[in-house]
Each structure stands twice: as structure tokens, then as C-alpha cells.
């Protein structure tokens, strides 16, 4: 971060403050010597990226926003959300925000924007769904991981939504937690004529009308990157009108048990969607999409 030596400001506003290390933020604050410093961000989402294996454990990845939020006073929460369909916001609201989020009135109109991500799907399933890809197999790819079956299904769903005229390519996004899966998805999307659909491991700060989330993990030995609840929170809060989560549910739940309390948020998500009957087998999805 470059800060002019003679910078003078009456106030400093730091956006996405949760993604800036404490030292970075203090550098700007000290240089500007403001009478007021406003930190804007979400400590429940991804923190600063720290590449050093020694710096992270020493706390250098902590943000000033985290420190202030953990202290007494000085922190206010904007409780009204304007992005997500209420069926989508319910899970992150319960898991990460203690039920304090309120859905703006406009969010209830998202039902008209939700898509039939498979033929004949209706009701709340148009907005939020957990698809159990029980035949998905997790494979190592270099230092990353990939899941061919989940990638195939994600692309097929995206293709159906686009070709049925329900959404433009730019309105569809595919999120995964693994670089190898993102590369596989981008390759398959391009082959399907959907080069305009973005597949990525990082969507923080972005949003799409339709989001497909590929969880990848299927070996039952852990939950991988989902050990960090903040990563799941980011993934679950990118969609405006439709969110489809693809996961090998049985394997993921075995991974939760293997991870102990680090995976509790994953099991709570699955339990919530099951309780609301917002889950479906991938075999049923493939049957409706006309493929097996």
C-alpha cells in the first residue's frame, strides 16, 4: 500500500476493511492523521490473505475491523440486506449473523427473478436447493482437487438456464473452493458455448442473479477449505435470486464428523435445507435435464 508522505485528510474510510491486515490499515490511518476513521466491512467473511506460514499464526492476518468488532462499542451492524432472496439469506443469517439480518422488502420480489434451473422445479426450490451428487468422485489434481461429475452437472444446469432464455451468461456464476475445479469448469463451460459464464474460487464483493456452488469434496476425510466458516459464508451470499449447491452429501457429512467442531456450520447448512425440503437427488436432476 503506497501512502503519500504529506497526505492530509479529515477522515479516512476503509472499504472491505475485513480484507486488510491491521498493519496495512494503520499505515493509512497514521499517514492521514484523520479526526475520524470509518471501517466498512464484514468480519464474518474472508479475512486478509497472508501467504507467510509464520505470519498468519502470529496474528498478522487479523484486521483492525476484527479487533474493533471484538471490543466494546464502536461497531454498528447494518442489519438490512438487499441482495438475496429470503430463502437464500435464511441459512447464512442463522449460521453467521445470529438471526439479526432483515430482508428488505425488495428481496421478496426476487421470486420473479428466480429461475427454473431444471424443468418443472417450482416453489422455494427455484430459489434455493441442495443437490446431492452421490456419484461424485473427488480426485487430486496437482496440489488441488476436482470433481468431474459435479462439474458436468454445474455446466448442464447453467446451459439449461441460459438456453431456456431465463438468464444471460453474465447473470450466471459458478463458485468452487478449488483452483483445479474452477479450471475444469471454465474448460467445460467454454466447450458448451458458455464462455461468458464465470467460474471462480473467489467471488467476495461480487454477486450474480444465479449462482451454482460446487463443493467438490467427496472422500469423507474432511471438509477441506470449508473448515473456515467465512469461506462458506461468502459462497452462500453471492446469489440474488437462485442458489444451487452441489455436494456429495453423505461424504460431506462424514467429513464433518472427521473435522469435529470445525465442520459444524456445514452440517447445520445441510440440516436446514433438508428440514425445509430444499434438497433433491442429482439422479432426478439429470433425468429432468434429459441426461444420465
* pLDDT of res. 2: 58
Whether 288 shows a pLDDT value over 80: the answer reads yes
Whether 1 shows a pLDDT value over 70: the answer reads no
- In DSSP terms, which residues pair with 138 in a beta bridge? 147
Query: For 25-44, how does the pLDDT look when each residue is reduced to its tens digit (9 = 90+)?
Result: 988 888 777 778 889 999 89
Whether 260 shows a pLDDT value over 80: the answer reads no
Query: For 103-134, how does the pLDDT look when each residue is reduced to its tens digit (9 = 90+)?
Result: 999 999 999 999 999 998 989 999 999 999 99
- In DSSP terms, which residues pair with 213 in a beta bridge? 175, 245
Tell me the C-alpha distance between 216 and 220, whole Å: 11
Query: For 180-217, how does the pLDDT look when each residue is reduced to its tens digit (9 = 90+)?
Result: 999 999 999 999 999 999 999 978 778 999 999 999 99
Select the more confidently predicted residue: 280 or 223: 280
pTM of the model: 0.91
Q: Average pLDDT, stretch 4-24?
A: 82
Query: For 148-169, how does the pLDDT look when each residue is reduced to its tens digit (9 = 90+)?
Result: 999 999 999 999 999 999 999 9
- Most confident of the following: 31-35, 58-62, 72-76, 151-155: 151-155
In the chain, the domains with their CATH numbers are 11-70 (no CATH), 80-289 (3.40.50.300)
Greatest alpha-carbon span in the chain: 66
Tell me the C-alpha distance between 106 and 9, whole Å: 37
Q: What is the average pLDDT score of the chain?
A: 91
Query: For 83-107, how does the pLDDT look when each residue is reduced to its tens digit (9 = 90+)?
Result: 999 999 999 999 999 999 999 999 9
Percent of the chain with pLDDT strictly greater than 70? 96
Amino acid at each position: 500500500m503506497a501512502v503519500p508522505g504529506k497526505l492530509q485528510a479529515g477522515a479516512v474510510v476503509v472499504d472491505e476493511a475485513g480484507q486488510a491486515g491491521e498493519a496495512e490499515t494503520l499505515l493509512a490511518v497514521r499517514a492521514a492523521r484523520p479526526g475520524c476513521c470509518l471501517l466498512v466491512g464484514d468480519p464474518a467473511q474472508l479475512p486478509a490473505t497472508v501467504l507467510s506460514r509464520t505470519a498468519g499464526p502470529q496474528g498478522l492476518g487479523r484486521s483492525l475491523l476484527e479487533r474493533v468488532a471484538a471490543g466494546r462499542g464502536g461497531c454498528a451492524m447494518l442489519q438490512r440486506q438487499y441482495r438475496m432472496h429470503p430463502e437464500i439469506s435464511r441459512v447464512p443469517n442463522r449460521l453467521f449473523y445470529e438471526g439479526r439480518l432483515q430482508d428488505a422488502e425488495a428481496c421478496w420480489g426476487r421470486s420473479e427473478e428466480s429461475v427454473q434451473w431444471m424443468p418443472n422445479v417450482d416453489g422455494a426450490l427455484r430459489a434455493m436447493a441442495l443437490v446431492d451428487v452421490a456419484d461424485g468422485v473427488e480426485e487430486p489434481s496437482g496440489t488441488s482437487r476436482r470433481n468431474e461429475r459435479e462439474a458436468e452437472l454445474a455446466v448442464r444446469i447453467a446451459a439449461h438456464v441460459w438456453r431456456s432464455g431465463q438468464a444471460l451468461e453474465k447473470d450466471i456464476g459458478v463458485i468452487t473452493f478449488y483452483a483445479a475445479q474452477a479450471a475444469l469448469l471454465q474448460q467445460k463451460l467454454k466447450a458448451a458455448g458458455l464462455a461468458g459464464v464465470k467460474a471462480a474460487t473467489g467471488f467476495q464483493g461480487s454477486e450474480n442473479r444465479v449462482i451454482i456452488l460446487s463443493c467438490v469434496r467427496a472422500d469423507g476425510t474432511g471438509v477441506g477449505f470449508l473448515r473456515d466458516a467465512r469461506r462458506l459464508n461468502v459462497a452462500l451470499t453471492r446469489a440474488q435470486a437462485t442458489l444451487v449447491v452441489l455436494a456429495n452429501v453423505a461424504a460431506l457429512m462424514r467429513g464433518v464428523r472427521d473435522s469435529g467442531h470445525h465442520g459444524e456450520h456445514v452440517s447445520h447448512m445441510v440440516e436446514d435445507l433438508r428440514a425445509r425440503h430444499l434438497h433433491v437427488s442429482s439422479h432426478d436432476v439429470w433425468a429432468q435435464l434429459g441426461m444420465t
